[in-house]
């Protein structure tokens, strides 16, 4: 745990970020989870450990981390911004029942062809969102599965 803390401090410094308790807490929290939390959910989690952060401080920490490209925003639902500390290329699975988003490794979809795009469109990047029902939801509501 201690080693992880110094690694996080190191990463923040490497990106030219001043290490503040909020930035540290937000980044450490995001790195420790894969559920793509919203600001609200991050705030609850961070304050469970040390009740010091406000939504505004968490939000500004997220902005700084995003600008330093340590964190990305994931927008899969209208009006809902979720955050992801996995900034490598990857795809997402979204459960239509509980809204949970989980990562799908980039290699899962091989050879996505852009050949059928109409001429004039120049693809630069893409990302696949698979929607469906996660295992937890299909276990609790067999009717929907
Ligand atoms: Zn689900
Ligand atoms: Zn992700």
All structural domains of the chain: 2-84 (1.10.10.10), 90-140 (3.30.1490)
Q: How far is the CA of 89 from the centre of ligand 1 (A)?
A: 23
Q: How many other CB atoms are there within 10 angstroms of residue 56's CB atom?
A: 11
Exposure string (b/e) for 7-19, b if CB count within 10 Å is 16 or more?
ebbeebeeeebee
Exposure string (b/e) for 86-107, b if CB count within 10 Å is 16 or more?
eeeebbbbbbeeebebebbeee
- Which tokens in the block code for residue 112? 């996505």
The C-alpha atoms of residue 145 and residue 65 are separated, in whole angstroms, by 38
The C-alpha atoms of residue 134 and residue 15 are separated, in whole angstroms, by 35
Average pLDDT over every residue of 117-132: 90
Confidence of residue 99 (pLDDT cuts 50, 70, 90): confident
Q: How far is the CA of 138 from the centre of ligand 1 (A)?
A: 7
Q: How far apart are the first and last CA of the chain?
A: 39
**What is the pTM assigned to this prediction?**
0.83
The C-alpha atoms of residue 145 and residue 137 are separated, in whole angstroms, by 8
Q: How far is the CA of 31 from the centre of ligand 2 (A)?
A: 11
Q: How far is the CA of 119 from the centre of ligand 2 (A)?
A: 30
Mean pLDDT lowest among 4-13, 17-26, 48-57, 130-139: 48-57
State which H helix or E strand residue 86 sits in.
Answer: none
- Which tokens in the block code for residue 93? 């699975």
- Which tokens in the block code for residue 79? 């009006």
Q: How far is the CA of 73 from the centre of ligand 2 (A)?
A: 9
Q: What is the pLDDT of residues 20-37, one digit of tens each?
A: 999 999 999 999 999 999
Q: 131 - beta bridge partners?
A: 94
Q: How far is the CA of 103 from the centre of ligand 1 (A)?
A: 14
Confidence of residue 144 (pLDDT cuts 50, 70, 90): very low
**pLDDT at position 139, please?**
86
């Amino acid at each position: 745990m201690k080693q992880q803390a110094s690694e996080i401090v190191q990463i923040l410094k490497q990106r030219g970020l001043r290490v503040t308790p909020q930035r540290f807490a937000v980044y450490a929290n995001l790195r420790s989870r894969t559920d793509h939390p919203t600001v609200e959910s991050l705030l609850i989690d961070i304050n469970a450990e040390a009740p010091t952060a406000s939504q505004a401080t968490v939000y500004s920490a997220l902005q700084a981390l995003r600008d330093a490209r340590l964190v990305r925003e994931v927008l899969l639902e209208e009006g809902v911004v979720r955050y992801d500390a996995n900034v490598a290329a990857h795809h997402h699975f979204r459960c239509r029942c509980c809204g949970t988003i989980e990562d799908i490794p980039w290699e899962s979809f091989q050879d996505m062809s852009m050949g059928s795009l109409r001429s004039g469109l120049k693809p630069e990047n893409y990302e696949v969102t698979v929607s469906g029902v996660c295992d937890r939801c299909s276990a609790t509501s067999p009717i929907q599965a």
